[in-house]
């Protein structure tokens, strides 16, 4: 590192965001939740020093009910897609599965998580935390064929992408989408997310069996089964915080 230049191992974050590193054996999502519970100012991104998996968690303090604030999770999905679009070879395809899975070239490759201090849809949360987990390299105990539906970035031709680049790009592009959400509402995020979802109109097994028909105006799943079409609210997919 040249004196006076940023450390290339440390992600550089856009204005409004600031970073806090965490040892590789600790969980940034849990750390961000505990920080939010203590009243930390929003805009904190806790990131892991693990170089094999990009792991980070963003603390936000929305000023709206949970059922609309939770739409920020789609900004995180789209921010990741844009980041990979800028870093990965052009033939790499990124898709989403509701509510939290990421797919790269058809294989499951990480997830986006969200937690809040309330599960009541019309209650304004004091904080929400959005987490990213994306494997760059296989686990050291991994054997080819162990998990045929799962993959990593290096297995999909993205071996040049570093943890630092991915977390930096995710933070920048997610902020762009959050600002668009604030300015224009959920509609543009809805449309962009749908274009990246590869299971629309398809039979699914999770979170329950049926046909995934799309999203409602709050990002909930529209699921059709033999009894009709049902809404599965996104607020029911929050991670446990206790």
Mean pLDDT throughout 83-92? 97
106 and 217 part of one domain: no
Of 241 and 233, the structure prediction assigns the larger pLDDT to 233
pLDDT, position 162 = 97
Residue 10 lies inside a defined structural domain of this protein = no
Q: Are strands 53-60 and 107-116 parallel, antiparallel or unpaired?
A: unpaired
For residue 178, the tally of other CB atoms under 10 A from its CB is 23
Residue 1 lies inside a defined structural domain of this protein = no
73 and 159 part of one domain: yes
Of 204 and 142, the structure prediction assigns the larger pLDDT to 204
110 and 166 part of one domain: yes
112 and 207 part of one domain: no
| Total domain count, the chain | 2
pLDDT, position 139 = 78
147-178 residue pLDDT tens: 678 999 999 999 999 999 999 999 999 999 99
Q: Which domain holds residue 229?
A: 200-234
174-221 residue pLDDT tens: 999 999 999 999 999 999 999 999 999 999 998 899 999 999 999 999
Task: List, in order, residues 6 or more apart from 75 with CB less than 8 Å away.
Answer: 174, 177, 178, 180, 181, 189
207 and 191 part of one domain: no
What is the CATH classification number for the domain harbouring 212?
Answer: 2.30.30
224: tokens are 């059709």
Query: Taking the model in full, what pTM does it have?
Result: 0.93
What is the CATH classification number for the domain harbouring 78?
Answer: 3.30.930.10
The 3-state secondary structure of the chain reads CCCCCCCCCCCCCCCCCEEEEECCCCCHHHHHHHHHHCCCCCCEEEEECCCCEEEEEEEECCCCCHHHHCCHHHHHHHHHHHHHHHHCCCCCCEEEECCCEEEECCEEEEEEEEEECCCCCCCCCCCEEEEEEEECCCCCCCCCCCCCCECCCHHHCCCCCCHHHHHHHHHHHHHHHHHHHHHHCCHHHHHHHHHCECCCCCEECCCCCEEEEEECCCCCEEEEECCEEEEECHHHHCCCCC
175 and 110 part of one domain: yes
Cα–Cα distance for residue pair 88/96, rounded to 1 Å: 17
83: tokens are 């980041």
Residue 9 lies inside a defined structural domain of this protein = no
Mean pLDDT throughout 23-45? 97
194 and 211 part of one domain: no
61-78 residue pLDDT tens: 999 999 999 999 999 999
Mean pLDDT throughout 99-106? 96
């Amino acid at each position: 590192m040249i004196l006076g230049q940023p450390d290339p191992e440390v992600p550089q974050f856009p204005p409004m965001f600031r970073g806090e590193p965490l040892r590789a054996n600790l969980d940034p999502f849990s750390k961000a939740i505990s920080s939010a519970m203590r009243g930390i100012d929003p805009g904190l991104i806790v990131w892991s020093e693990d170089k094999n998996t990009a792991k980070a968690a963003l603390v936000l303090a929305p000023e709206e009910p949970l059922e609309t604030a939770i739409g920020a999770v789609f900004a995180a999905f789209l921010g990741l897609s844009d980041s990979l679009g800028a870093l990965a070879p052009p033939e790499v395809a990124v898709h989403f599965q509701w509510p939290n899975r990421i797919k790269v070239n058809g294989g499951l490759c990480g997830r986006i998580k969200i937690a809040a201090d309330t599960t009541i849809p019309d209650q304004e949360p004091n904080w929400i935390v959005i987490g990213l987990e994306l494997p760059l390299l296989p686990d050291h105990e991994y054997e080819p064929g162990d998990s045929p539906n799962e993959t990593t970035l290096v297995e999909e031709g993205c071996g040049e992408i570093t943890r630092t680049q991915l977390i930096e790009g995710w933070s920048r592009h997610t902020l762009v989408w959050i600002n668009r959400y604030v300015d224009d509402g959920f509609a543009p995020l809805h449309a962009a997310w749908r274009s990246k979802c590869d299971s629309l109109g398809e039979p699914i097994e999770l979170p329950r069996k049926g046909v995934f028909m799309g999203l409602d105006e709050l990002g909930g799943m529209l699921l059709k089964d033999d009894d009709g079409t049902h809404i599965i609210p996104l607020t029911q997919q929050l991670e446990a915080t206790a």
